[in-house]
Structure 1
Amino acid sequence: MPSTFRLLCNISIICCAVNTLQRAHSDLHCYYSKVNQQCHKDEKFVNADYCTENQERDSKYFEDMANNNGLNGLYRPRSALARALYEKQRNDRQLQEYDQNEWYRVDKSRLSPQLLQKFRQLDPDEDTKAFLSASIDKSTWVWTQVWYLLAKAVLRHFWSITDINGWLGRGSMFVLSEPQARMLLGTTAGALVDVGAGDGEVSRRFAHLYQRQYATEISASMRKTLSAKGFTMLDTEDWWREQKFECVSMLNLLDRCSRPKTMVLQARRALAPSGRLLLALVLPYKPYVEVTPDHKPEERLPISGATFEEQVQSFVEFMRDECGFELVTWSRVPYLCEGDFAQAYYWLDDSVFVFTPTAQATETL
């Protein structure tokens, strides 16, 4: 009898959590979803102007996954738990069938000769596949996912999503593997600083290429995690004043901070003469600032264009003309995030650039 009672209690808890998931599906902050461009599930990046024919196809494909439109009517589970498990299995199966090479492709006919010359073709290498495999495994840990769900439902009233993820140790992300970073950066030596490092998982994969690793982060829980991983923490306001770095890393920060142009100019001041700025930016550009009341930035990057390639060109011109940076290499990659109770993993279309300061640019800080 006691074991039966515990089983019934466990089932009730799972059903309660799944119902919470369904009611709050539009609020749950999970950073990544293909083409719909969700930074959070209540902050969609849908913009028809940016959709190519292939993106429109992919958008419909993943909307069907999210909305369960693909059910053929032969099986419609009644309970919330059964529906959630069924939809997750279906979503994950479709993820397995998706061609991951699409994440890395660009339309070369739309690139200028200069951009084409500096483009580096990447692909889903072994480190990328290992991250995806670990995300798939973790998404099947039912009790862990239920705990994340219930904890976030409570803590979001008191903490930011970044703090919650740091405390829970979830939401890890992936941009570049070590071999991919080596290909883009070329030589590596000296000191690296990862600005807005989060939990450090993104830069951890290549930060050891530099002898000294520093980081900045506004989230208290994330700072503890970074310190535990061996990063030396710097002040978020003055990190760029005291020393020079051979590499400044700003991975998917500019569309999440209030003053992105200021951050780029600070990076230029902090770079050693031969230093490199490693920068990632989700495209299409759609800023969302977690810490401002209206979630809008004080400074908006002047990025224009209807396609991924046009926005890359616009951003590179901005970096050259207004910030004094010359493009060294660039590529297209997925910005991956581990999944949840609904789907094994999520992603956004990411552009990655390596810049060096131009000799002619003057300081504007």
Structure 2
Amino acid sequence: MLAFIRILYSFLVILLMPLHSSNFCDRTDLYCYYTKDAQPYCSRGEFDDVTIAGDAWKDPVKKHFEQNKAMASNGLIRPRSALARAFIEKQQNDRTLQEFDKNEWYRVDKSRLSPEMQSTFVQLHADEETKSFLSNSIEKSSWVWTQIWYLLAKAVLKHFWSITDINGWLGRGSMFVLSEAQARSMLRAARRGADGSGSLVDVGAGDGEVSRRFAHLYGEKYATEISASMRKTLLSKGYTLLDVDDWWRTKQFDCVCMLNLLDRCSRPRSMLRDARAALAPGGLLLLALVLPYKPYVEVTADHKPEERLGVTGAGFEEQATALVEQMRSAGWALRAWARAPYLCEGDFAQAYYWLDDSVYVFQPAPIEPGN
């Protein structure tokens, strides 16, 4: 038994060594296991070190991480084992998350927005459902043996499956974008209520956790997903699965959800054309896109998309404006939009992660000549 414990400990040290040696407190390329291995972690205002409004954004989270790194280098934190270092770093990082002002997730600089985008902006906040997700993530990340199991399973399965399939099989890495109340606010702002009738389809739904929180606002819920393990999860949650290529030919939908999909699929412009064809009269496109725009396609050899969206700009507001302009030229009218965190359950290193998400409600409109 003692020999087994020693072997297990040695294996854990090997697994956790990269966590420490890569110096977590200074990492800006953290990824969420659910999305993709190469998904960059991006806190508010980080746009490849681009200067914003004459001054580089001072990220409070990154500042705390740097302080923790300085303490370690000064000898204040210097445990000998990799496992102990991992625990200490997790405590430090979780404390930083606790102190972080979560209102930052939802703020925009309206002075940098057009009158149209100012008038359609919906101010959200961290409501009770959001806080509940964060609390559950903090609790799960503290389940030591569960996290060890995740590490062991991922170390083996990554040689055979994609990260998405692994998370589906393990039932981990759930995501959060909008609560039910936040989704209702967006729909009301778009002058479209949801009374439990009609139909919704979540394209590229993953495990369905993101849309599950508000999908019941419609009478029927459909989904598409490539991952086999995720499809089984979707069926267990009451979704009707559609073909990933021909879903838009199936029927007319009252709401098409494309939540953090356009930067992960090879042909985003084609996906938008399919969405337009699939919408019933008066239907809505609920779209979410991580900014800064950094497409990453898991299924292509070079991980680059065949089609790119014309999203450019130095900051969140500029990139959001660029996306709205691209959508307008492609025949979409903006009804409402907001800023929100794209949250993901954490791991041994940190209780949860987030990316900077922009969320929109569009409706089909006449396409401009030449587009």
TM-score by length of 2: 0.88
Is the Cα contact below 8 Å between 2:60 and 2:100 reproduced in 1?
no
Query: Where does structure 2 lack aligned partners over 5 or more consecutive residues?
Result: none
| Count of matched residue pairs | 354
1:351 matched residue in structure 2: 358
1:310 aligns with 2:340: no
| Aligned counterparts of 2:263 and 2:216: Cα–Cα separation in 1 | 26
CA shift at 1:305, angstroms? 1.1
1:296 aligns to what SS in structure 2? coil
| Aligned counterparts of 1:69 and 1:201: Cα–Cα separation in 2 | 38
2:225 matched residue in structure 1: 217
Which residue, out of 170, 173, 179, partners 2:172?
170
| Aligned counterparts of 1:55 and 1:30: Cα–Cα separation in 2 | 21
Which residue, out of 180, 183, 195, partners 1:181?
183
Letter of the 1:15 counterpart: V
1:15 matched residue in structure 2: 13
1:361 matched residue in structure 2: 367
2:257 aligns to what SS in structure 1? strand
Is the Cα contact below 8 Å between 1:68 and 1:87 reproduced in 2?
no
| Aligned counterparts of 2:140 and 2:257: Cα–Cα separation in 1 | 28
Is the Cα contact below 8 Å between 2:311 and 2:322 reproduced in 1?
yes
TM-score by length of 1: 0.90
| Aligned counterparts of 2:336 and 2:65: Cα–Cα separation in 1 | 34
| Aligned counterparts of 1:132 and 1:343: Cα–Cα separation in 2 | 12
CA-based RMSD: 2.6
TM alignment of 1:136-175, pairs within 5 A: 136-175=138-177
CA shift at 1:19, angstroms? 3.0
TM alignment of 1:243-322, pairs within 5 A: 243-322=251-330
Q: Which runs of 4+ in 1 moved over 4 A?
A: 4-10, 20-26, 41-46, 50-54, 362-365
Cα 1:340–1:44, aligned 2, differ >3 Å: closer, same or farther?
closer
1:35 matched residue in structure 2: none
1:224 aligns to what SS in structure 2? helix
Is the Cα contact below 8 Å between 1:29 and 1:161 reproduced in 2?
no
Per-residue CA deviations over 1:108-133 (Å, capped at 9, x if unaligned) read 11111110000000000000000000
TM alignment of 1:122-141, pairs within 5 A: 122-141=124-143
Query: Where does structure 1 lack aligned partners over 5 or more consecutive residues?
Result: 33-37
| Aligned counterparts of 1:162 and 1:58: Cα–Cα separation in 2 | 30
| Aligned counterparts of 2:65 and 2:77: Cα–Cα separation in 1 | 19
Letter of the 1:179 counterpart: A
Cα 1:259–1:364, aligned 2, differ >3 Å: closer, same or farther?
farther
| Aligned counterparts of 2:354 and 2:159: Cα–Cα separation in 1 | 26
1:47 matched residue in structure 2: 48
1:329 aligns with 2:336: yes
Is the Cα contact below 8 Å between 2:263 and 2:297 reproduced in 1?
yes
Per-residue CA deviations over 1:281-317 (Å, capped at 9, x if unaligned) read 0011110011110000000001111111111111001
Per-residue CA deviations over 1:36-92 (Å, capped at 9, x if unaligned) read xx9645756761227674644347426527x83443422311101110000000110
CA shift at 1:155, angstroms? 1.2
Is the Cα contact below 8 Å between 1:269 and 1:363 reproduced in 2?
no
TM alignment of 1:28-43, pairs within 5 A: 30-31=31-32, 40=37, 43=40
Cα 1:290–1:23, aligned 2, differ >3 Å: closer, same or farther?
farther
Letter of the 2:83 counterpart: L
Cα 1:156–1:252, aligned 2, differ >3 Å: closer, same or farther?
same
| Aligned counterparts of 1:261 and 1:364: Cα–Cα separation in 2 | 15
1:84 matched residue in structure 2: 86
Is the Cα contact below 8 Å between 2:341 and 2:355 reproduced in 1?
yes
| Aligned counterparts of 2:90 and 2:212: Cα–Cα separation in 1 | 30
